[in-house]
Amino acid sequence: MAEIIQRDGTWTFDGSTVRIVPGKDKGVGLLRRTLGEIAVPLEALAGISFEAGRKSGRLRLRLRDGADPLLQITGGRLGDSSEPYCLTVEKDRFGVAEYLVDEVRNALLLDQVDPGPIDRYLLPGPALPITVGAGDATVSFDGERIRLEWNWKTEESKSSGGPRTLPLDDVEGVEWLPSRGLENGYLRFLVTRMPTSTPAKHDPHAVDLYGFRKDPLMALVGAAVVARLPHPRAAASPEGRLPGAGPAEIPVRASGAGPVQAPGAASATDTTDAAGGPGGPGHGSDDHDALLRRLRELGELHQSGILTAEEFATAKQAILGRL
């Protein structure tokens, strides 16, 4: 098991899951503290990196597009203090961070996790029920209904209709945008058959956000709702793969390098893998014959030039350690 403990938080990897626990440092954003512990399955990862600086470094997880409802709604617009998949690492722990990166990359390599987009959520989203007050409203969601209650900052054109309750079945999408400069942000629930271009301050299905401290928490409400709506790629990929998707990719071990295409490599959705059953190495007892077959496959990839000598040596050592 690999673990790194910092004031910014604690990351632990047990071979199948990266567990992220936010720290209590003043630099940890309210969204991260409210979200709490996150368990990221290996299947949800597209990669991991460590960026060393003069005084501190950054450990970053990169998730597969479509795997996390929070990232689905925020679209990379969260600030550093709110970003749950980034950890500030002190200089005396650079070696520990690099070791964790190596362990995760080895697991991705051995399990042949496809780093491409996915058509189902692999993380559950924020826990329910959830209630957040920010901007011009307080929003509650219990898994079936969304309730918006207005406050004294709400425009009369919106508050005059009273609190608004939306059944989840009536919602077809959610939009979240943080405030930027002089422009307000918003959380908007898109209601079936009711397209709107009304500004959020007048839209009875939206929360107007002014850029205050609690604004990012509205993204948690949005993510909780999104997690219970049909995945946006599900209709386009009924068999679990995106149209036109190629063979599985093997994430390379070298820092900063992109994935290498492996013609004929087993897909991450194959039912039989290196452990002789679903889930791959680290999921149940290792079958020696299956591990030997995987070793031969990696040797063939190395001989054909798909894997470098360093990548093959790393994978080989990890397999031999399980035999």
For every residue of 268-299, DSSP letters joined together read TT-SS-TTSSTT-TTSSPPPHHHHHHHHHHHH
Structure confidence at residue 249 (pLDDT) = 35
CA-based radius of gyration for the chain? 22
Q: Coil, helix or strand for 142?
A: coil
Eight-class DSSP state of 183: B
Q: How far is CA 12 from CA 16, 103, 315, in A?
A: 10, 11, 21
Structure confidence at residue 102 (pLDDT) = 96
Structure confidence at residue 38 (pLDDT) = 97
Structure confidence at residue 287 (pLDDT) = 63
Q: Coil, helix or strand for 148?
A: strand
pLDDT by residue for the chain (323 residues), tens only, comes to: 899 999 999 999 999 999 999 998 888 999 999 999 999 999 999 999 999 999 999 999 999 999 999 999 999 898 888 999 999 999 999 999 999 999 999 999 999 999 999 999 999 999 999 999 999 999 999 999 999 999 999 999 999 999 999 999 999 999 999 998 889 999 999 998 777 789 999 999 999 999 999 999 999 999 999 999 999 888 654 444 333 333 333 333 333 333 333 333 333 333 333 333 434 434 434 466 677 677 777 777 766 666 677 777 777 777 777 66
| CA distance linking residue 230 with residue 244, whole number of Å | 21
Structure confidence at residue 270 (pLDDT) = 36
Q: How far is CA 23 from CA 5, 29, 35, 229, in A?
A: 9, 10, 12, 31
Structure confidence at residue 318 (pLDDT) = 74
Structure confidence at residue 71 (pLDDT) = 96
| CA distance linking residue 178 with residue 200, whole number of Å | 12
Q: How far is CA 319 from CA 58, 113, 226, 265, 298, in A?
A: 29, 16, 39, 17, 10
**Contact between 268 and 113 (Cβ < 8 Å):** yes
Structure confidence at residue 286 (pLDDT) = 45
Three-state SS string over 47-106 comes to EEEEEECCCEEEEEEEECCCCCHHHHHHCCCCCCCCCCCEEEEEHHHHHHHHHHHHHHHH
Global pTM reads 0.72
- Strand order across the beta sheet in which 185-191 lies: 171-177, 185-191, 206-209
Neighbours of 162 (CB within 10 A): 10
